[in-house]
Structure 1
Amino acid sequence: MDFNNLITFLKELNKNNNKEWMDANRNWYREVRREFIVWLDGLNENLLNQYDEYYDTPGKKGVNRINNNLMFHPNRPVYKDHFGAGLDKKLNTGDFYIEIGIEESMFAGGLWRPDSKRLGSIRDAIDYNGEELVAILKKPSFKKTFGGLIEDVKLTRPPKGYTENHPHIDLLKHKTFAVMTKFNNELLFGGNFNEKVFDAYREMLPFRTYLNKAITV
């Protein structure tokens, strides 16, 4: 994958974030997107061969649109400033997300503000066996990689059916169950970036498995 070409494209797009520029550089965009998809295909094949429960996600299926959704976010630019994709992307579950941006990139995964039904299922799992999730989040290598849950919207009071003295009340108040690690783009050019991807996937997997089991069982 020519990450230099990808990042150069994103920088130029960011300076000229309009449909006219994109139309004039459509072939460049298609070239970069095609290379990104081929790279994702390689990651997907490797993970598919390593993990029995991995959900086959070819690059074309995992890659996100570069257009922002202006219907719901009219104040955003026409195009995003990154290429993003989800792997292990089974419908309605938390995938493993990769984002390559202009200055920095990220690995992320989990569930961002799940609907009330899935959120309720996660809370049921925490109520039944929150110790398992706590152990995952407190694992030293996990904390070193991801820190902890993304601090997003949280309830100020216990959710319905729970009390303030519940042993896992802090977790129960979360409305987003996701983790993320950002990194400088120098990592892209170190010669072993794919291994960094696999390391992040492996470290995040127990967390994602816990959540996905909670919302599918």
Structure 2
Amino acid sequence: MSFKNQIEFLKELQKNNTKEWMDANRKWYHQVRDEYIDWLNSMNRRLSVIDDEYYDTPGKKGINRINNNLMFHPNKPVYKDHFGAGFDKKPKTADFYFELGIDRCVFAGGLWRPESKVLRSIRDAIDYDGEELEKILNKKTFKSRFGNLYEDVKLTNAPKGFAKDHQHIALLKNKTFAVFQEFDTKETNKSNFDEELINAYQEMLPFRRYLNKAITV
């Protein structure tokens, strides 16, 4: 699929980031949104074939709102500068995320600052078999695509209940367990972009499964 229409819409929206402009261009917005949802539906079907545990996520359920939440972020623009969507969005698990932006796109997945109970479950899993997570994170192809865990706030000391000299202490100090790949939006013009998304999904799958097993078992 060509995302040219979506990109042009986002560019104009950022020049005129107001409800008045959006209301005047509502027809265009629904057109680009519907096109995007159709593409999400096609990718949803393809991913469900390659992943036996895939949670069916039609485009309308996967797509994120384009409105910024001004209640919690009053200084942000009214509308986002990208179209975001999740795949394999089983409630309360780590999904796979794709973001289509004006200049950059993102493949991402994991858990962003999960609540304390969930975070404790992840740490317990690391305590039990953290070498498995280390193996996933250090796999050459995984590291080449996603690098390290997303750099976010970390504990200064060992979390409560874990020794400061724990063999996986660096992992245990994390509050966010997520990875991402950022790339130029021009990459979406390539004929094999859908396959690239599938490859990213498959590469990230063991990481997401590790987290989901930790928080659901």
Question: Please, what TM-score do these two structures have when normalized by structure 1?
Answer: 0.99
Give the Cα separation in 2 of the matches to 1:62 and 1:160.
Answer: 36
- Tell me what 1:54 maps to: 54
Paired residues for 1:24-173 under 5 Å: 24-173=24-173
Count of residues in correspondence between the two structures = 217
| Structure 1 residue ranges (4+ consecutive) displaced by more than 2 angstroms after TM superposition | none
**Residue 198 (str. 1) matches residue 170 (str. 2):** no
What is the CA distance between 1:163 and its match in structure 2?
1.6
Unaligned runs of 5+ in 2: none
Partner SS state of residue 98, structure 1 = strand
Larger mean Cα displacement after TM superposition, 47-56 or 141-150: 47-56
What is the CA distance between 1:2 and its match in structure 2?
3.1
Percent identity over the alignment is 66
Output the amino acid matched with 2:116: S
Partner SS state of residue 97, structure 2 = strand
Output the amino acid matched with 2:106: M
Output the amino acid matched with 2:208: R
Partner SS state of residue 70, structure 1 = coil
CA RMSD, aligned part only? Answer: 0.5
| Contact residue 2 and residue 188 of structure 2 kept, 8 A | no
Output the amino acid matched with 2:24: A
| Contact residue 2 and residue 35 of structure 1 kept, 8 A | no
Partner SS state of residue 70, structure 2 = coil
Residue-by-residue CA offset, 1:120-164 (whole Å, 9 max, x unaligned): 000000000000000000000000000010000100010000121
What is the CA distance between 1:186 and its match in structure 2?
1.6
Give the Cα separation in 1 of the matches to 2:63 and 2:185.
Answer: 19
Residue-by-residue CA offset, 1:145-203 (whole Å, 9 max, x unaligned): 00010000100010000121000000000000000000111211111100000000000
Give the Cα separation in 1 of the matches to 2:178 and 2:50.
Answer: 23
Question: Please, what TM-score do these two structures have when normalized by structure 2?
Answer: 0.99
